Structure formats: structure tokens, C-alpha cells
Amino acid sequence: MRRASSTLAPSFLSRALASSVSVPYHHRPLLQAALYGSGGGGGAYSRRADRRWFARLLDSPRAASLGIAGALFATSAASAALSGEVLAKEPPSPEVVPKEVVLYQYEACPFCNKVKAFLDYYDIPYKVVEVNPLSKKEIKWSDYKKVPILMVDGEQLVDSSDIIDKLDRKILPEKSAKPATKDDDNEENKWRRWVDNHLVHVLSPNIYRNTSEALESFDYITSNGNFSFTEKITVKYAGAAAMYFVSKKLKKKYNITDERAALYDAAETWVDALNGREFLGGSKPNLADLAVFGVLRPIRYLRSGRDMVEHTRIGEWYSRMESAVGESSRIKA
């Protein structure tokens, strides 16, 4: 099966796409700063401590008497999400958490976003090096010419699914105790393959569907990617125009006649797979939940993502995932 780069077209424009799209990130820092007062650096560990403090505050009689918790929960969907986040995250025990994790990425590369969803959910602090998709100078040192590349305590890991498998076994001792054979037919693996082989291919035709959506996507790409000032201007307009045409080719290549219908169909297929469960993993997300969430997160607040939530049943699961994955564990430089 073809994967990866086939999603995003084999040119600099595909690489530019790879560095795209997610509005929650625009808003989250403000929300987090407001709630956690996190303006002062402090890194992921202190943010986690702040979250615990916040969770304790919500539970405390003092908060109840002040009516803080009630007011927050009554008036803010974001607060509800945050309370879920605190409860749902699965931080591994400190001795198995890698000491230094560095992700080489394009901001909106779906494969990079799968890895980030995993790191965020397990609360593993990581630094990000945004790769310039034109020069790729940040990964010149590596023989591997794609992203994501994850450096874990000095060891290079490549390929999103392999990265996640290796980390998963590292941080979850009960999994590493099992033999290393892959059960390709289990439900979780089946849906992880569906993400790589189907879902990712539906995204580009949607986010570049027409000129305004292509510009919306490239606006995000150029604001978050690693571009010089001149590259920003060129990439935004030339990229949006070209990806509009490339996305038409991708539609043909993947037999997509109506891109929105394909996106809605994928969303519905996923909800059917959940079969009434909170998550595919049951009461908590498994690697397939994290993969679907990871690739959808960059588009969720673009026009295509908003349409998807409005026209399908995926919204409730997506909100549960937002709460479960919670705040990013990325260490700000």
C-alpha cells in the first residue's frame, strides 16, 4: 500500500502543506495562560503542576464556597474539556519517561501530528524543531529525508507508526512484556492502517478544495511553518494556487469524486467503528483513537473541519479526545 508522501503530492508544495493547520493552537496558549498563569516559561513539568493545582482547586471546599468550580463548569465548555483532560491523561511512571525528546516536523504533517497526539496524551515533554520544507537544512544530518524524525535520548526514530510503537513499548511496561510479534488483524492495528492508507488521503483535497480554503490553509501554514519573510509571501499565494490544482489531481488519484462527501464518509466510518463506545479503546483512547485524532487536529478548526463536525456524528468523539489529550506537552523554546 502507498502511504505517506503520496498524501501530500511530491513537490515543494506538498511539503509546504505538510507544515500546516490548527487553530486550537492559536487559542490554547491564551486559554492556558488565563487559566494557569503559565506565562513565565517553566516548561511542561511546571505546567503539569499547575494543572494539578487547578484540578485540586476545582475539588476543594474553598472553590466550592467561592462558587468558582460551579461558575467555570456552568459557563465554559473549555473548562469542561480541561477537567476531562486532567482525569483522562495517562502520564507514565517517571522512570520510563525519556529524558530528552526532540521532534523534527512540519507543523501540519499528518504523520507528525500522530506522533504529537501520542506524546501529548502520555504527557511526554518534547521539543520541536520545525523543518524548513524547502531547504530541509534542520535534518541534513540524517539519512532519512522525511519527517517526523524523533530523537529519544539520542536515538533516532523514524516513521510515525514505528515511532509510536517503539515509544508505546518503552513507556508501557505491560506491553513491552509481550512478544514483539505484530497482531496485524486486531482492531486497533486495522484502524491505524486505515488512518495511514485512507484518512490522510482525504485531507488535502478538502483543505485545498477552492481558492478561499486553500488560502486559509496556507495562511496557517505560513504563520506556523519555518519560512523566511520572502518565502512566507511566495509560499502563501503560489502554494495556495498550486495546491488547489494539485488537490484536483489527488482527487483523481484516490478516486475521490466529492471531497466533502469523502471526508464525511470517513468521519461516519470512524463513528461506526466506535460502535457506541466512548473510544475505540473503550473507556480510554487507544493508538487508533490517537492516530485519527492526530491527523484531524490540524484541520478541525479550518472550514473543512468545521463542516465535518457540523455534518457528521464525529463531534462528540472529537471533543472527548480533545479533553483526553488535553494540553500539549511540548516544551516551548
What letters, b where the CB count within 10 A reaches 16 and e where it falls short, cover 100-111?
A: ebbbbbbbbbbb
Which of 36, 54, 106, 208 does the annotation list as catalytic?
106
Shortest Å distance, C-beta 131 to ligand GSH: 8
Annotated catalytic residue 111: yes
Select 13 or 324, whichever has its Cβ closest to ligand GSH: 13
Q: Are 298 and 113 in contact (CB under 8 A)?
A: yes
Segments in the chain forming alpha helices (H): 12-18, 23-36, 43-59, 61-66, 68-75, 77-88, 110-121, 160-171, 173-176, 187-194, 200-207, 211-224, 229-234, 240-253, 259-274, 287-296, 303-311, 315-325
Select 18 or 86, whichever has its Cβ closest to ligand GSH: 18
Please provide the DSSP assignment of 274-303 as one string. Answer: HTT-SBTTBSS--HHHHHHHHHHTTTTTSH
Shortest Å distance, C-beta 143 to ligand GSH: 13
Annotated catalytic residue 104: no
Shortest Å distance, C-beta 106 to ligand GSH: 6
Select 81 or 115, whichever has its Cβ closest to ligand GSH: 115
**Site residues for ligand GSH per CB under 6 A:** 3-5, 8, 15, 18, 106, 109, 111, 133, 146-148, 159-161
Select 109 or 325, whichever has its Cβ closest to ligand GSH: 109
Which of 104, 109, 126, 244 does the annotation list as catalytic?
109
If you search the block for the grid coordinates 482525569, which residue do you land on? Answer: 87
Annotated catalytic residue 109: yes
Q: Which residues, 6+ apart, have CB-to-CB distance to 26 below 8 Å?
A: none
Select 8 or 86, whichever has its Cβ closest to ligand GSH: 8
Which of 36, 54, 111, 218 does the annotation list as catalytic?
111
DSSP state of 329: -
Shortest Å distance, C-beta 243 to ligand GSH: 13
Shortest Å distance, C-beta 210 to ligand GSH: 22
If you search the block for the grid coordinates 480541561, which residue do you land on? Answer: 82
Q: Are 232 and 134 in contact (CB under 8 A)?
A: no
Residues forming the active site: 106, 109, 111-112
